[in-house]
Structure 1
């Protein structure tokens, strides 16, 4: 697992060259992301990052159906590292029937798309789909004229994670979380990053996590703070939607989850319950 985490900066950088097909611009009324697990999380990150810029609706679709409004002017991203996610494949079939414009993102070489972002098939670690697909999605949206060119921001983000030096801080956070219920809070603008923290701690460290954002916390959840046993808050204090900052916080989550998995004496790469569900 440690080797995989250390490769993350390289994977972000390599992904800058993955969009190797030409795209004709067309009228886009809305964008739909279809993906589960990490494929859904990267969709959340894109939607959050572009909140103040993109002028059309973005829907993150984490199930096997698609909204009724999907049509010829809908851009649909089908994201699945393995290319075998049942929900994503169902969405793909339904989007084709509605004649939506589809872009596939997968490491599965057998899965055919007219427009496809082919991810490297260099690991069985499915969450790598996030590191490999975030930048290509932004590149595609720029090619279609929906957002500004993000290359400078992407390179800044690569430099940020390459220069990551907070391993000791991450280990300290993991120690504070050990044998406690992690509560990950953020501002509204970083709720997708906080959700990434939650999912990394869930899957890698095998712990239950509460995640929410301000100011919503102040309207309900705050009343329950004295009734959840032993807990520890991780407060993501950043508020500006900056790509480098968002990715840096996410990379911090990778390290914290890794250290906590060691303390919990669990294998971060094994997901027996998830694997069992997928086989059904």
Structure 2
């Protein structure tokens, strides 16, 4: 899994190339639905969060079997399923067919590819053979090209700059880098006997969720993610009064371009949390927002792999998910 995680910069660029000349014109479209689950859906979450202030159309990520009841022929459905076999996404595509949505699929094959090719829908095919969470770069990298007509600005250029930033960061996270100069190993050691709770303020909420799910799947640990400012209206009380607080390690994702209001809020929240537990902050040094978002994600992916190693866990298989899918297929 460490090798898969390390390939993120190349995946981003290859995903972008796979989607060249496959964008759907916005035309008179009202909304875009990005349907997916798990490691496939997180690509949509991060894309929407990153591009939120430049999106021309309404855009939302759909997790589940159905599209919103108002979906119709003036809407666009982007179906993201790495395996092409995700039953919820296939069901959402069937709903999109019935309502007349324009459909584009991002997948490595399976029934999703067969269905969409049979209908003449656009299909962006990415390389097969990976666990879905390990194919994030391919799936995310395709979205700026697909969405070229739905957003303002040159997202492709920003993606290339982000990939270059990750390439520069990578040596700091690799297994051969010693602990004292490897931030991913250092944080994994802090988490060895702690439960992580990852916090992100907009637009980092989905990045915090990615950290959580990577810890869940790669390291086989419970982990949680939460977002500011909402967490300051409920969770903060627990940090001030729960005697079990020291069992957890809160990880705060910070950004150099935080608004003054958010900066004051996060600084104050940190002070309260540190009364009952230790805390770790993550700050990426990338020049662009996407570089920092993906740099933070990149770090989290490596942390989850090293945490798996510390726990004696193989970070690649996800037996509980496989078992559940088999039971549902009976």
TM-score (norm 1): 0.94
CA distance in 2, matches of 1:35, 1:146: 21
Q: CA deviation at 1:24?
A: 5.6
Shift of 1:135: 2.2
- Which residue number in structure 2 is paired with residue 133 of structure 1? 139
Change (3 A) 1:259 1:92: same
Of residues 212, 216, 226, the one that matches 1:202 is 216
Q: CA-to-partner distance for each residue in 1:199-251, whole Å, 9 max, x for gaps? A: 11111011111211221111001111224451112111116481111111111
Corresponding residue of 1:238: 255
- Return the alpha-carbon distance in structure 1 between the equivalents of residues 33 and 313 of structure 2: 35
- Gaps of at least 5 residues in structure 1 are none
Structure 1 residues 24 and 275: alpha-carbon distance in aligned structure 2, compared to 1, 3 A threshold? closer
Supply the distance in 2 between the matched residues of 1:105 and 1:244 (Cα, whole angstroms). Answer: 23
1:190 touches 1:239 (CA, 8 Å); kept in 2?
Answer: no
Are the structure 2 counterparts of residues 41 and 24 from structure 1 closer, same or farther at C-alpha, using a change threshold of 3 Å? closer
Task: Give the alignment partner of residue 188 of structure 2, picking from 174, 178, 197.
Answer: 174
1:2 aligns with 2:19: no
Contact kept, 8 Å, 1:80 with 1:129, in 2: the verdict is no
Counterparts of 2:17 and 2:110, CA distance in 1: 17
> Match for residue 118 of structure 1?
125
1:21-66 C-alpha deviation (Å, 9 max, x unpaired): 5556221211101100011111110110111111322121111111
Q: Give runs of aligned pairs for residues 47-126 of structure 1, distance below 5 A.
A: 47-108=48-109, 111-112=113-114, 113=116, 114-121=121-128, 123-126=129-132
Q: Structure 2 vs 1, CA of residues 63 and 224 (structure 1 numbering), >3 Å: closer, same or farther?
A: same
Is the 2:106–2:126 contact (alpha carbons within 8 Å) kept by the matching residues of 1? yes
Q: Deviations over 1:83-105 (max 9, x none)?
A: 10000000011100101010001
Which deviates further from its counterpart, 164-173 or 267-276? Answer: 164-173
Relative to structure 1, the CA distance from residue 5 to residue 11 in structure 2 (aligned partners, 3 Å threshold; closer, same or farther) is same
Please list every run of 5 or more consecutive structure 2 residues that lacks an aligned counterpart in the other structure: 174-181, 258-287
Aligned residue for 1:17, secondary structure, equals helix
Aligned-pair CA distance for 1:128: 3.1
| Structure whose CA Rg is larger | 2
Is the CA contact 2:82–2:135 (under 8 Å) kept in the aligned structure 1?
yes
> 8 Å contact 1:166–1:252 — kept in the other structure?
no
Deviation string, structure 1 residues 82-138 (Cα, Å, up to 9, x no partner): 1100000000111001010100010016623210111112x2321133210212111
Structure-2 change in CA distance of 1:90 and 1:145 (3 Å)? closer
Instruction: Report the counterpart of residue 226 of structure 2 in structure 1.
Output: 212
SS of equivalent residue, structure 2 residue 207: helix
Aligned residues: CA RMSD: 1.7
Alignment match, 1:148: 153
CA distance in 2, matches of 1:196, 1:175: 19
CA contact (8 A) 1:106 1:118 kept: yes
1:41-52 superposed matches below 5 A: 41-52=42-53
8 Å contact from structure 2 (residues 77, 102) kept in 1: yes
Contact 2:144 2:156 in 1 (8 A): no
Q: Distance in 1 between matches of 2:308 and 2:122?
A: 38
Could you tell which deviates more after superposition, 22-31 or 260-269? 22-31
With the length of structure 2 as denominator, give the TM-score of the two structures. Answer: 0.80
Q: How far is the alpha carbon of 1:141 from its aligned partner?
A: 1.0
Look up the match of 2:205.
191
Give CA deviations for 1:255-280 in whole Å, capped at 9, x if unaligned: 10010000111111111100011112
Q: Which has the higher helix share?
A: 2
